[in-house]
Amino acid sequence: MFKKFRKIMNTYDVAIIGSGPGGYVAAIRCAQLGMKTAIIEKYSTLGGTCLNVGCIPSKALLDSSHHYEDALKHFEDHGIEIPGEIRLNLEKMISRKQGVVDMTTKGIQFLMDKNKIDVFEGLGSFKDATHINIKKNDGKSETIEAKNTIIATGSKPSTLPFITLDKERIITSTEVLKLKEVPKHMIIIGGGVIGLELGQVYKRLGAEVTVVEFMDRIIPTMDADLSKELMKVMKKQKVKFELSHKVKSVERKGNEVIVKADNKKGEEITFTGDYCLVAVGRSAYTQGLNLEAAGVQLEERGRVAVNAHLQTNVTNIYAIGDVIKGAMLAHKAEEEGTLVAEIIAGQKPHIDYNLIPGVVYTWPEVAAVGKTEEELKAAGIEYKSGSFPMRALGRSRASGDTDGFVKILADKKTDEVLGVHMIGARCADLISEAVTAMEFRASAEDIARMSHAHPTYAEAVKEAALAATANRALHV
Ligand code: FAD
Ligand code: NAD
């Protein structure tokens, strides 16, 4: 009976649950390696958080709002005069963003077709370790058989236990990407990546923005000098910061949102606004997967537990991206997708997690790779540091982007680059030079002796390397 059933059931070498950057890249790599591959996505568009409600839409709004701010505040400096009022059309800005998202998610569908990957729309859940049920939106179900499965179900916004997200005025990153009006006063809980990127968007569009952060600095996991400089610049942009504040209640009264927090002294501080963005991190998403049926274990924070090969406790089931430990970044998920596909194909790939860069797409952009000064100190590693300010670059003066610096940390004895931390124009792209250098275990002197085109922002990397090598930066 079961044999007969198997004949009509779709059987795959690999099934991937979730089509975010982890899942779809894993699918492409599996297909490239000759495996019969299926991808299951519960939503009607592919691309996951990143393409639909994350990286891509947030960057589209960052770019649009940056143009608006330039038109309002900076064109005049360049001798560009716009007669009449410069007006914001928020509806058009949001719809352009959606257009970018739609184009990008369709691109993933194209890639799936090109690589002959079967796409199943529906909620994937384990029946056992080799069978996945797909529950479609019309209520119908289908089962596929998979020799190997990759769980790539990503993450969802975290919240605080006392907060009721009404998704209208008390919102997460998903809703803030499609507001119908510019808030008068947006209170942001969390001075991490989402709070700062999306806070900057709405600040540029005219909102008052207050960031309430629990720690004593913003972007607390990055190098402290970056936190300091970014806060300095964003304060100049009139974003308000309330550090060392523990939020204890968030309440909506009509169109008002009231946030109460205790400051460092234990005093209760009340913030009143019309929107509250809750941006206190994200948590692994495993709901509906029925992991118990396959026997897959979770670790304490609800993430899927994996070994160094990203294999769960069930040998033919792997997990990648936001649903497992590590940085919640699209490019980390992509590397893991490739790694698992190659492991299943019998190869021996490797990821150096120390060399996964982190970027905050505010302006100035913040980017880093390797160890922070705090981490080196804690590990007792002796290091030297070289910094170079962006304002000393001809390129920065030409564009008017003079905020920020590049800092290179190198081993005191060997001169090997251990960490690169930068804030300034186009640092999101500049960080790739540091990743390449560190991948090849470059010394600061190696970078310092490489020719960097003039005039470019990249010259700050060479100058910081010169400063780290022998305190001999040329242009300061
Ligand atoms: P996801 O992208 O979350 O995809 C998981 C997919 O699985 C989803 O489509 C989900 O619907 C699907 N799924 C879940 N359960 C099931 C199921 N049972 N059956 C079928 N499908 C299922 N990272 C960066 O590197 N750079 C950025 O600039 C950046 N910006 C961001 C901005 C915002 C506002 C947010 C929220 C995140 C941002 N991130 C950024 C983080 C990035 O989006 C994530 O790290 C990345 O999307 C993780 O990829 P993933 O493949 O692990 O999971
Ligand atoms: P995050 O971890 O970057 O920041 C959360 C912040 O909230 C932290 O600074 C934390 O100290 C603070 N916080 C936590 N609890 C608090 C409380 N009770 N009161 C006040 N502050 C509190 O998380 P996020 O900004 O929500 O982003 C989620 C994930 O999405 C991140 O892991 C990030 O990697 C990813 N992401 C990446 C990018 C990018 O790469 N550019 C952009 C957006 C999101």
What's the pTM? 0.97
Q: Give the number of other CB atoms < 10 A from CB of residue 99.
A: 11
Average pLDDT, the chain: 96
Do 475 and 463 touch, CB atoms closer than 8 A?
A: yes
Same domain, yes or no: 204 and 273 = yes
pLDDT score of 476:
84
Q: Give the whole-angstrom CA distance, residue 409 versus residue 393.
A: 20
Same domain, yes or no: 275 and 327 = no
Same domain, yes or no: 23 and 143 = yes
Same domain, yes or no: 39 and 122 = yes
Same domain, yes or no: 151 and 15 = yes
Q: What separation in Å is there between the alpha carbon of 279 and the centre of ligand 2?
A: 6
Do 421 and 430 touch, CB atoms closer than 8 A?
A: no
Last residue of a domain, one of 234, 254, 280: 280
Q: Tokens 């809703």 appear where?
A: 175
Q: Is 344 in the pocket of ligand 1 (CB under 6 A)?
A: no
Shortest-distance Cα residue to atom 46 of ligand 1: 330
Same domain, yes or no: 290 and 175 = no
**Domain holding 315: CATH number?**
3.50.50.60
Same domain, yes or no: 20 and 136 = yes
Q: Is residue 365 part of a domain?
A: yes
Do 177 and 57 touch, CB atoms closer than 8 A?
A: yes
Q: What DSSP designation does 78 have? A: G
Atom of ligand 1 nearest to the CA of 24: 51
Mean pLDDT of 96-121: 98
Last residue of a domain, one of 237, 262, 280: 280
Per-residue model confidence as pLDDT tens digits over 81-92: 999 999 999 999
pLDDT higher than threshold 50 for residue 136: yes
Q: What separation in Å is there between the alpha carbon of 260 and the centre of ligand 1?
A: 31
Shortest-distance Cα residue to atom 33 of ligand 2: 328
Q: Widest CA span of the chain, in angstroms?
A: 80
- In 376-427, the DSSP E strands lie at 383-389, 405-411, 417-424
> Range with the lowest mean pLDDT among 175-184, 310-319, 329-338, 464-473?
464-473
Same domain, yes or no: 50 and 116 = yes
pLDDT higher than threshold 50 for residue 454: yes
Q: Domain count of the chain?
A: 3
Instruction: Look at residue 375 and give its three-state secondary structure.
Output: helix
Q: What separation in Å is there between the alpha carbon of 27 and the centre of ligand 2?
A: 28
Q: Give the whole-angstrom CA distance, residue 255 versus residue 44.
A: 33
Q: Is residue 125 part of a domain?
A: yes
Q: Is residue 24 part of a domain?
A: yes
Of the two residues 124 and 4, the one the predictor is more confident about is: 124
Per-residue model confidence as pLDDT tens digits over 325-357: 999 999 999 999 999 999 999 999 999 999 999
Same domain, yes or no: 336 and 374 = no
**Domain holding 382: CATH number?**
3.30.390.30
Per-residue model confidence as pLDDT tens digits over 15-43: 999 999 999 999 999 999 999 999 999 99
Cis peptide before 455 (omega within 30 of 0): yes
pLDDT score of 84:
93
Q: Binning pLDDT at 50, 70 and 90, where does residue 473 land?
A: confident
Q: Which ligand is in closest contact with the Cα of 331?
A: 1
**Single-letter code of the amino acid located at 153:** T
Q: Is residue 164 part of a domain?
A: no
pLDDT score of 8:
61
Q: Is 199 in the pocket of ligand 1 (CB under 6 A)?
A: no
Q: Is residue 2 part of a domain?
A: no
Integer-rounded Cα Rg, in Å, for the chain is 24
Same domain, yes or no: 107 and 177 = no
What domain range is 184 assigned to?
Answer: 170-280
pLDDT score of 6:
43
Q: Tokens 């242009």 appear where?
A: 475
- Determine whether 331 is an active site residue: no
CA angle 160, 166, 168 (to 5 degrees): 125
pLDDT score of 471:
81
> From the candidates 67, 78, 454, 475, which is the catalytic residue?
454
Provide DSSP, 263-317. Answer: -TTS-EEEEEESEEEE-S-EEE--TTS-HHHHTPPB-TTSPBP--TTSB-SSTTE
Q: What is the 3-state secondary structure (H, E, C) of 414-448?
A: CCEEEEEEEEECCHHHHHHHHHHHHHCCCEHHHHH
Q: Is residue 136 part of a domain?
A: yes
Q: What is the percent of the chain with per-residue pLDDT over 70, rounded to a whole number? A: 98
Q: Binning pLDDT at 50, 70 and 90, where does residue 165 land?
A: very high
Instruction: Look at residue 240 and give its three-state secondary structure.
Output: strand
Residues lining ligand 2, judged by CB closer than 6 Å?
Answer: 160, 189-195, 197, 212-215, 220, 247, 279-282, 327-329, 359-361
Q: Binning pLDDT at 50, 70 and 90, where does residue 475 land?
A: confident
Q: Is residue 213 part of a domain?
A: yes
Could you tell me which residues come within 8 angstroms of residue 71 by beta carbon, excluding any fewer than 6 positions away?
A: 82, 86
Same domain, yes or no: 39 and 128 = yes
Q: Where are the alpha helices (DSSP H) in 149-240?
A: 173-176, 193-204, 224-236
The strands making up 268-273's β-sheet, listed across from edge to edge, are 246-253, 256-262, 268-273
Q: Is residue 50 part of a domain?
A: yes
pLDDT score of 3:
42
Per-residue model confidence as pLDDT tens digits over 202-224: 999 999 999 999 999 999 999 99
pLDDT higher than threshold 80 for residue 7: no
Q: Binning pLDDT at 50, 70 and 90, where does residue 4 land?
A: very low
Q: Give the whole-angstrom CA distance, residue 278 versus residue 167.
A: 10
pLDDT higher than threshold 80 for residue 173: yes
Same domain, yes or no: 386 and 426 = yes
Positive or negative, the Cα torsion across 272, 273, 276, 280?
negative
Last residue of a domain, one of 280, 296, 316: 280
